[in-house]
Amino acid sequence: MKALLLIDIQNDFLPGGALGVPEGDQIIPIVNQIQDHFDLIVATQDWHPTDHKSFASNHEGKNPFETTELLGLPQVLWPDHCLQGTPGADLAPALEVNKIEAIFRKGTNPEIDSYSGFYDNGRLKSTGLADYLRGKGVTQLYLAGLAADYCVYYSAIDALDEGFETFVLENAIRAISPESYEAARKDLLEKGGRRIQSSDLLPR
């Protein structure tokens, strides 16, 4: 079974959003076009409370994109984004959502950030995604979404670690910083991740 995992395709990660990813909107038509190719489609949704400690606004004297530590882990401090129940946290309106069978929320614990769709950054808690996918018989997992250098990357690493054959749809991801994606991409390839283009899936 082949599943498509859509990472954080939410308003706040689109250009003009609170944590807009350059060209983030451009992946949406591609993602919509490939959905029929998969047996299962699942999404993640970044879903933060207002007191989330990944927000610079919750640290006296800190600005967005500065760094700190949370529970002993290095942490980039972000602008407030994906606040629970706000339009910024909604899935993008242009995204075809009817075939999404489940949405896994993450980032709800104010004490720790959660880039991967599988675990928080400290691996304190699982979202249940890996067991859900295994329960559905998924062996191959294709990833698309935002941001390539954070939530897509960490989700792909965990997918490999959980034993899924893992493909990153390289034309259906965009990074906050292209340089940091370059390092992430090398790491993913070293760990057995595979890169693919949406055109490789479609009949020619």
Residues with Cβ within 8 Å of 61's Cβ and at least 6 positions away in sequence, in order, are none
Residue 20 partner contact from ligand VGL, Zn ion, none using kind-dependent CB cut-offs of 5 to 8 Å: none
In sequence order, the 6+-apart residues with CB closer than 8 A to the CB of 30 are 144, 169, 171, 172, 198
Q: Which residues contact 40 (CB under 8 A, 6 or more apart)?
A: 1, 2, 3, 4, 101, 133, 136, 138
Q: Which residue is nearest to Zn ion (CB)?
A: 46
Q: Which is nearer to Zn ion, 75 or 198 (CB)?
A: 75
Please state the closest distance from residue 106 (CB atom) to Zn ion, in A: 8
The 71-100 site mask, x for binding ligand VGL (CB under 6 A), equals -------x----------------------
Contact 27, 15 (CB under 8 A): no
Within residues 134-173, the interface with ligand VGL by CB under 6 A covers 146-147, 150-151
- Out of 46, 80, 120, 149, the residue judged to bind Zn ion by CB under 5 A: 46
Interface residues toward ligand VGL, by CB under 6 A: 8, 13, 46, 78, 146-147, 150-151
